Amino acid sequence: MKDRATKHAEDVVSGKVLSGNLHRLACQRHLRDLEKQGTPDFPYFWNEKKSESILNFAGMLTIAEGAEPKPVRLFDNQCFDLGAVMGWVKKDGHRRFRRAYESMARQNGKSFKNGIRGTYIALAGGYNYGKLFTAATKKRQAKIAWDEMMKFIRSDEDLSELFKIQEYKSLITCLETDCTIEALSKEGGLDDGFRSIFCSVDEIHQMKDNSVYKALYNGTRSLPETLVSMITTRGKNLSFFCFEIDSLCQEILYGTQILDDFFVDIYTIDKDDKPFDREVWHKANPVLLHPDNPNCEENYKTFQADADTAKAMGGSELADFMVKSLNVWYRNSDNEFVNSQKWLECACDLTLDDFRGACVNIGLDLSSGGDLTSWTVEIQTRDGYFIDSHSYMPRGRFEEHIKTDSAPYDVWEKQGLITVTGGYTDFKNDYGFIVHDLREMIEKYEFRINAIGYDPHNADGILGELERLGAPLIQVTQSARSLNDATCDIQYLVKSGKYRYNRKNELLSHSFFNAVTVQNSFGEIKIDKQPGGKNQRIDPVDAAIDAHFCSLRNQPKKIDVNAEMKRYLELMAKK
């Protein structure tokens, strides 16, 4: 008889079980890995016994919550998520997966699954004196998975004898292995130094940065096996850490990123699904709307009522329904600069290397000194535009901005998206260095420059350097009247998929998601930071708009043949 994790994967891929595309890709990844297991390029093996072991353990647990206790009954998708993570091993027998990311709509048992994992690993993981943690931004959230473990233990006589619970300390100790399970939170002082064999990191969509994840994951490097299990419903803030990790995980599922130690499963509706169509809701709700769930029909009725309310009211009600019920990244679009999904669809694998010798326009956004300075190159293509950008920050402000901006500038520096200038005592950007770097980029790709658009603010000391680049300089006044056409045109280009950028330029995407539009009394628009977004950087977007301003200005005016003929006839009549 086939193990339950593999059976579910086969049922989904064959179409016997209907699911969303991203969950289908997770199942497809499992089946593809089975075919290549044990090869030189894929030194991992599928161990059915280890996969089934945690499922059998779960089947012996009791759910205490409710009118009366009842045995745990796993749904097929839960068998897949639990079994696949535990069943894949290395040649030495240690588990393959050290990280996991699972995302689905609310109330579909995310913490429940991590409660099973934590209890199982503490008792039967084969490790003595191990540390296990449940973590979140707030202690209350961190205790959700911890409480699941506590309830499993208290509702089972045998488990109660094997574990000691100190609820006032948020601490559980396994008496058989001396492993401890503790609830931690960022507000409670979570920091580096934890060597954990298991971490449940809950609702990471609430985390502005990756500090909680990194504090826990960095402490596991010396361990032969561990599991940092991130569970979440998606959110509304696309500049937070969760959106970044979610995007990476989608790349893993699509096969454009190969990270063999990272398990991924995402339950959400598909891109072309209609959110108010009852037939697609189960994709994001594999437990609540599972046909074997005894409350399935009642749950559908609740969903229908919520959907009707969201459709009628729109605004925050709609956003709440999209995020919490359908697990979709959603941001109120009233004043967003670009639609997030449309922007992601513009991503491509092209680089500046593909445009050597091209005619380009360059936009330059200069900071007031210690903030981000960016240039953006815009290249017209057959069907639209391609852009690329690079940014700079002085070393003296670098560490400070990592904390205040909740942005991974250190990661982007390693990826080559940002250059840190000067030493630790330098708090202003070296504009001379930036212009020199810009010159090297132009020479490297043999670009012919149509124009360089610049924000006149802070530009006085750099104009002489820019003139030496030998291109026309265009002053771009930063007003809605001046920027309206370029801003609106970029919006249309993104909506139509004709504004391309390299998908690895996370800083560029980060800045586009930070930008919103503001308008003057004439209805003309320009971009600005989100309200309250003092530390949100939009400099690469500003530079992109300046570059597009140059592109529109340099385009030859279209001749209205009819108007010209009319003018010609009028002149002839006068003669």
Query: Looking at the domain assignment, is residue 347 inside a domain?
Result: yes
Do 253 and 346 belong to one domain?
Answer: no
Condensed to tens digits (0 to 9), the pLDDT of residues 501-529 reads 999 898 898 889 888 888 888 889 999 87
User: 539, 367 in Cβ contact below 8 A?
Assistant: yes
- pLDDT category of residue 418 using cuts at 50, 70 and 90: very high
Give the lowest-confidence range in 176-180, 248-252, 498-502. 248-252
pLDDT at 465: 81
Is residue 298's pLDDT more than 70? yes
- pLDDT category of residue 499 using cuts at 50, 70 and 90: very high
Query: For 408-517, where are the alpha helices, taking DSSP H only?
Result: 409-414, 431-444, 463-467, 480-495, 506-514
Is residue 169's pLDDT more than 60? yes
pLDDT at 559: 46
Condensed to tens digits (0 to 9), the pLDDT of residues 534-554 reads 567 889 999 999 999 999 987
Is residue 158's pLDDT more than 80? yes
Query: Looking at the domain assignment, is residue 64 inside a domain?
Result: yes
Do 459 and 521 belong to one domain?
Answer: yes
Do 462 and 490 belong to one domain?
Answer: yes
Query: Looking at the domain assignment, is residue 543 inside a domain?
Result: yes
Do 165 and 228 belong to one domain?
Answer: yes
CA distance 459 to 455: 7
Cβ atoms < 10 Å from Cβ of 541: 26
Domain that holds residue 299: 272-331
Query: For 461-560, where are the alpha helices, taking DSSP H only?
Result: 463-467, 480-495, 506-514, 539-554
Do 405 and 491 belong to one domain?
Answer: yes
Do 26 and 39 belong to one domain?
Answer: yes
Host H or E run for residue 328? none
Mean of pLDDT over the chain: 88
Host H or E run for residue 296? helix 296-313
| β-bridge mates for residue 71, sequence order | 62
Is residue 76's pLDDT more than 50? yes
Contacts of 106 (CB under 8 A, 6+ apart): 233, 324, 325
Do 346 and 321 belong to one domain?
Answer: no
Split into its structural domains, the chain has a count of: 3
Query: Looking at the domain assignment, is residue 571 inside a domain?
Result: no
Do 309 and 404 belong to one domain?
Answer: no
Do 175 and 203 belong to one domain?
Answer: yes
Which tokens is 365 given?
């956004």
Condensed to tens digits (0 to 9), the pLDDT of residues 6-64 reads 999 999 999 999 999 999 999 999 999 999 999 999 999 999 999 999 999 999 999 88
Question: β-strands 171-174, 180-185: how paired?
Answer: antiparallel
Among residues 243, 267, 291, which one ends one of the domains?
267
- For residues 310-339, average pLDDT: 84
Query: Looking at the domain assignment, is residue 564 inside a domain?
Result: no
